Structure 1
Amino acid sequence: MSENKKSSEVKTATVLAFERKLDPSDALFFSGKWDERNASGNWPTVTIHEKSVRGTISNRLKAGEQDPAKLDAAIEKPNLQTVDVATLPPDADTLKAQFTLRVLAGTGTPSACNNIDYRKKLTATVAGYVKEHSFIELARRYAANLANGRFLWRNRIGAEDISIRVAHLKEGKPAAQWTFDALDHSLRDLAESAKAQSVVELADLINAGLTGSQHVLLEITAFVRTGAGQEVFPSQELILERGRGDKSKTLYHVNNVAGIHSQKIGNALRTIDTWYAGAEENGPIAVEPYGSVTVQGKAWRQPKDKQDFYNLLDNWITKDQAPASEQQHYVMAVLVRGGVFGKAD
């Protein structure tokens, strides 16, 4: 390779960061009756309260602990726990979860980049992608995850009915609104959900927000008929250092209103990656640089397979080796996600 060619190569920036372009708020919980979901009026908030329980020994025993006498002695010791719980009141059978979502333009424009040549090449590459594909493929999948209620997480399981309402807010008022029966939309087959006319319309709006042709602020309201007095499931707080006697489970709340973390909402919305090896069997996963799924203890996009975000991005930007179109969608989805992606010296 000639010295001139070497000197003209674009090197990955050592400082490289992107801001997220799907910006959800926390989802807050309210309670009421299913038949009154269309009526005006405020719904009472779902609060968090403590419960003390006496548990039993149920963990897997080590080889030396399987003596019957030792096990009987262990069972005699109470496993006392104090936990947070959130429930619907006895006269309410429906959970109402509500959050807002900003859709921002500027995907691919770094918030920090210390290499001007890399920045120019990256910006030109993203512009080429947008010219060819726009963001419609990603927008359809984001819209499908709003329609299917994936953001409800465990609250979706076992529900009798789920109604999702998405309103496009302008000057604080709904300019357009769509209603979805979440149970009619598959969590696995996003392409099938994206065929519905209401999902297509919502996707067009999200695409307009990502391309910057329109300001997009959405208000999402989910009504989940789960049963009077039933437990509902806010986010659980991660307490790194618990003291002796502390609660064993702490639930998230905002001013004593139970809720789901905005990060968890964002994770659900970006669960659109079906472009990895194994997707046909495993289904969509959240867009992550290595395809990491913590609950499975697996990274589906291993660097050795050259299908992780860093390999795909570096080959595309620094080596002019454009990946297949479905992997281009994945790379753009990671940029929409945002993060710090610089290459250390």
Structure 2
Amino acid sequence: MNAPEFKKLPGVLAFQRGLVITDALFFNVLKDSQTPVMVVRHGIRGTQNVNKDGDAEKSTAANAKRQEVSNIQTTDTAKLEEEAQALAVRFGLRFLDLKDVLFACAPASTDANDLVRNYRDSVTGFIERAKTSPGLDEVAQRFARNIANGRWLWRNRTIARQVEVHVSVNGTPLASFDALATPLNHFDNITDAERQVAAYIADGLRGDDDAGLDIEARLDFGVRGALEVFPSQNYVEDKPRGFARPLYCLGSPERAGSRNGIEFESTRTMGHAALRDQKIGNALRTIDTWYPSYAEHGRPLPVEPNGASLEAQEFFRDRKTSAFEFARRLNTLDPASPEGMFMIASLIRGGVFSGGKE
């Protein structure tokens, strides 16, 4: 018989991500077709943007002390074609059976012999209860809302005048949404169309149906022409001097010109613009309104064990309300409670939960 809660978690404990997700590719919507939006690398001559009242040694500009006005940079840009009527962004998504999310569970040298066996049983028991609980349906509905509202489009959503999101299964249309009219900061008043999408998500998590969702957004920016759009950015440590930003793209870049006379090219195509799957996943799991200060903060957080928010640069969950704490109490958690629903979402997120010393 398992204890109501565990004094510590197994020394090796990890859950794999409970959803399979692709990158989201960008396309120009033309009159009769769609073509890839490409990332192009090029040079620009900008101006210095350094706060001279700040600490020059800590400035983001390596040459903060210099007085030149010009700021010569190499950067990546993604722009629509001149004839594009809109931007299309599409990706695929499938949710896994929750029983398969436990990836590794093994003892540390100081763990009791029966800890791992008992803990595996507690995970299995919690998942079995979750599958028959309305808590799982609530989590699925929250994922569905974040598909519908286009949160996963990030900055592109912010500048769009109109955003339509279309969801299909095996080529058959399932639901369509006016993304800008769908709430971002709460999960009340779930619509019938959102419930349709949520039903597929919940079936996947219960292991009843492994059908994937094909999701496409069409964005109208209210202007026509070579408009800049925004794929993911890449982090590059120790960037070359004068290099501004690299953008995420798929495919192989064009070979650089030889720089000898006519062979030199001032621009270089790097690949097909895209949002990275991790960035989409972060947006879809922005469903945590169960953290203690939600009423004060007023917006959902991405599901993270400690309630970490990059935007606020803050942890919104302390030790007593973290997923690590709830993971010790799986035997007593009600999957329909706020703590239980947060834990369901944490299992979908995946991650390393390995325990330390008692």
Instruction: Mark the CA change 1:121 to 1:88 in structure 2 (over 3 Å): closer, same or farther.
Output: same
CA–CA separation in structure 2 for the residues paired with 1:324 and 1:209: 18
Q: 1:56: Cα distance to partner?
A: 2.5
1:310 aligned residue (289, 301, 324): 324
Does 2:355 align with 1:343?
yes
Q: 1:74: Cα distance to partner?
A: 4.0
Farther-moved stretch of structure 1 (324-333 vs 254-263): 324-333
Q: Give the AA of the match of 1:16.
A: L
CA–CA separation in structure 2 for the residues paired with 1:79 and 1:144: 43
Q: Given that residues 108 and 332 in structure 1 are in contact (C-alpha distance below 8 angstroms), is that contact kept between their aligned partners in structure 2? A: no
Match of 1:286 in 2: 302
CA–CA separation in structure 1 for the residues paired with 2:335 and 2:215: 35
Does 2:205 align with 1:210?
yes
Does 2:83 align with 1:91?
yes
1:26 aligned residue (20, 23, 27): 23
Give the TM-score, by structure 1 length: 0.85
Does 2:238 align with 1:241?
yes
Match of 2:110 in 1: none
Q: Give the AA of the match of 1:117.
A: N
How does 1:28-67 map onto structure 2 within 5 Å?
28-33=25-30, 36=31, 42-62=33-53
Q: 1:212: Cα distance to partner?
A: 0.7
Match of 2:256 in 1: none
Q: 1:104: Cα distance to partner?
A: 1.0
CA–CA separation in structure 2 for the residues paired with 1:235 and 1:5: 45
Q: Given that residues 11 and 118 in structure 1 are in contact (C-alpha distance below 8 angstroms), is that contact kept between their aligned partners in structure 2? A: no
Match of 1:253 in 2: 249
Match of 1:123 in 2: 124
Instruction: Mark the CA change 1:48 to 1:111 in structure 2 (over 3 Å): closer, same or farther.
Output: same
CA–CA separation in structure 2 for the residues paired with 1:332 and 1:151: 21
Match of 1:300 in 2: 316
CA–CA separation in structure 2 for the residues paired with 1:341 and 1:145: 26
CA–CA separation in structure 2 for the residues paired with 1:111 and 1:243: 39
CA–CA separation in structure 2 for the residues paired with 1:5 and 1:272: 31
CA–CA separation in structure 2 for the residues paired with 1:149 and 1:230: 20
Q: 1:103: Cα distance to partner?
A: 1.2
CA–CA separation in structure 1 for the residues paired with 2:155 and 2:55: 37
Q: Give the AA of the match of 1:207.
A: A
Farther-moved stretch of structure 1 (8-17 vs 76-85): 8-17
Match of 2:195 in 1: 200
RMSD: 2.5
Farther-moved stretch of structure 1 (112-121 vs 127-136): 127-136
CA–CA separation in structure 1 for the residues paired with 2:353 and 2:81: 46
Give the TM-score, by structure 2 length: 0.82
Q: 1:80: Cα distance to partner?
A: 1.2
Please list every run of 5 or more consecutive structure 2 residues that lacks an aligned counterpart in the other structure: 57-64, 107-115, 252-270
Farther-moved stretch of structure 1 (256-265 vs 270-279): 270-279
2:177 aligned residue (163, 177, 180): 180
Match of 2:104 in 1: 112
Q: 1:199: Cα distance to partner?
A: 0.7
Instruction: Mark the CA change 1:10 to 1:291 in structure 2 (over 3 Å): closer, same or farther.
Output: closer
Q: 1:63: Cα distance to partner?
A: 6.5
Match of 1:189 in 2: 186
Instruction: Mark the CA change 1:133 to 1:24 in structure 2 (over 3 Å): closer, same or farther.
Output: same
Instruction: Mark the CA change 1:102 to 1:109 in structure 2 (over 3 Å): closer, same or farther.
Output: closer
Give CA deviations for 1:174-211 in whole Å, capped at 9, x if unaligned: 2442111111101112223x2x1111111111111110
Instruction: Mark the CA change 1:5 to 1:15 in structure 2 (over 3 Å): closer, same or farther.
Output: closer
Give CA deviations for 1:205-248 in whole Å, capped at 9, x if unaligned: 11111101112201101100113221100000111121234x22
Q: Give the AA of the match of 2:244.
A: S
Farther-moved stretch of structure 1 (204-213 vs 321-330): 321-330
CA–CA separation in structure 2 for the residues paired with 1:5 and 1:17: 20
CA–CA separation in structure 2 for the residues paired with 1:63 and 1:223: 42
Give CA deviations for 1:94-118 in whole Å, capped at 9, x if unaligned: 1110110011112574111111221
Q: 1:160: Cα distance to partner?
A: 1.4
Give CA deviations for 1:29-85 in whole Å, capped at 9, x if unaligned: 00024xx5xxxx6411100112322232332224687xxxxxxx9443422111101
Match of 1:68 in 2: none
CA–CA separation in structure 2 for the residues paired with 1:177 and 1:323: 28
CA–CA separation in structure 2 for the residues paired with 1:5 and 1:145: 37
CA–CA separation in structure 2 for the residues paired with 1:148 and 1:11: 39
Higher helix share: 1
Alignment length (residue pairs): 318
Instruction: Mark the CA change 1:116 to 1:181 in structure 2 (over 3 Å): closer, same or farther.
Output: same
